[in-house]
């Protein structure tokens, strides 16, 4: 009962804070978020230490302790800014979106659409990923995003209300894959955020920052089943705005050995994810226990 009451208290407190941030200019909110992110960095030692530990594990001797601490602090700042942008999604109509988000290599997305079998947009908990889905939708890219069901329904409903304000629909990852296949058959986008260790979904072990990491195999399996293009896309925070960077499509290997090909192809797209995180380490969610599942 105590936990339930605390959960409701935090929910309504969050709604109140969110309301305040919708009443002020977005750029002002982002400046405040940067300060709040720094405060959270120092106020949440558990997540601060986990972030720094993961950064040290990933970068080894490539960066000094001071550099890693600075990156970790900016991770918290980025997440705070993400939250401000999320609660302000209803304000991101096309003119506002165009001021905040630019495209890089849009022709790659157009070429993927031209194949007529749908596009699997593969991304990570990187940059402002919720804003990315809205940006694609505001730029005439219909589709859905695959999301995790949040079991506190009030929060789940609120999050989906924000998404729907920009016409972003969600298929929960515990729903039937047929929904995803039907979406791709319409030549729409299925957006997948597939960079976390989730032991409740099918996955394989691949190398990620020099360590074996349990990684969802769903993107490759879905691409194989549908013929859709597997296209890595990332939203990169630059100053007060963003660049939506569209990478080269992942060409899948097919040797007839399904298990070996699944691992090879998952490693291939995972390498792309790692390359972006290496370039912009402050924009990834390092406090996740990415390497928690161990090979047996």
Q: What would the pLDDT profile of 211-245 be if each residue is shown by its tens digit?
A: 999 999 999 999 999 999 999 999 999 988 999 99
How far is the C-alpha of 54 from the C-alpha of 5, rounded, in Å? 33
Q: Give burial (CB, 10 Å; 0-12/13-18/19+) of 242.
A: buried
Residue that has been written with the tokens 């942008």 in this structure:
85
Give the pLDDT mean for 140-151: 90
pTM score: 0.94
CB 81 within 8 A of CB 34: yes
| Per-residue CA distances from 67 to 86, 231, 281 (Å) | 28, 32, 11
CB 131 within 8 A of CB 89: yes
pLDDT at 3: 57
| Per-residue CA distances from 149 to 139, 160, 162 (Å) | 26, 10, 15
| Residue range 162-171, pLDDT digits in tens | 999 999 999 9
How far is the C-alpha of 128 from the C-alpha of 244, rounded, in Å? 10
How far is the C-alpha of 265 from the C-alpha of 276, rounded, in Å? 18
- Tell me the H-state helices in the chain: 2-22, 26-43, 45-59, 65-87, 94-100, 106-114, 129-138, 153-164, 177-185, 218-226, 258-279
Q: Indicate whether 2 pLDDT > 90.
A: no
| Residue range 19-67, pLDDT digits in tens | 999 999 999 999 999 999 999 999 999 999 999 999 999 998 899 999 9
Q: Give burial (CB, 10 Å; 0-12/13-18/19+) of 50.
A: middle
């Amino acid at each position: 009962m105590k936990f339930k009451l605390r959960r409701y208290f935090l929910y309504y407190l969050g709604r109140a804070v969110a309301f305040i941030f919708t009443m002020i200019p977005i750029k002002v909110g982002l400046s405040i978020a940067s300060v709040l992110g720094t405060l959270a960095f120092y106020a949440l030692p558990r997540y601060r230490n986990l972030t720094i530990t993961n950064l040290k594990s990933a970068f080894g001797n490539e960066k000094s302790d001071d550099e890693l601490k600075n990156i970790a602090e900016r991770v918290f700042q980025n997440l705070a800014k993400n939250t401000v942008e999320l609660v302000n999604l209803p304000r991101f109509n096309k003119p506002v979106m165009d001021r905040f988000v630019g495209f890089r290599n849009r022709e790659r997305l157009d070429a993927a659409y031209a194949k007529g079998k749908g596009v699997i947009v593969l991304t990570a908990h990187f940059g402002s990923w919720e804003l990315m889905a809205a940006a694609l939708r505001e730029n005439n890219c219909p589709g859905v995003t695959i999301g995790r069901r949040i079991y506190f329904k009030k929060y789940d409903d609120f999050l989906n209300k924000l998404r729907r304000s920009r016409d972003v629909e969600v298929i929960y990852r515990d729903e039937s894959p047929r929904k995803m296949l039907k979406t791709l058959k319409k030549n729409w986008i299925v957006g997948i955020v597939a960079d976390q260790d989730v032991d409740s979904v099918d996955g394989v072990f691949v190398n990620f920052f020099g360590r074996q990491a349990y990684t969802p195999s769903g993107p490759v399996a879905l691409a194989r089943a549908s013929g859709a293009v597997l296209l890595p896309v990332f939203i990169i925070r630059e100053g007060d705005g963003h660049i939506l960077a569209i990478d080269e499509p992942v060409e899948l290997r097919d040797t007839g050995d399904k298990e070996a090909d699944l691992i090879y192809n998952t490693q291939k797209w995972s390498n792309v994810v790692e390359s972006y995180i290496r370039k912009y380490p402050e924009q990834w969610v390092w406090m996740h226990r990415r390497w928690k599942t161990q090979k047996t």
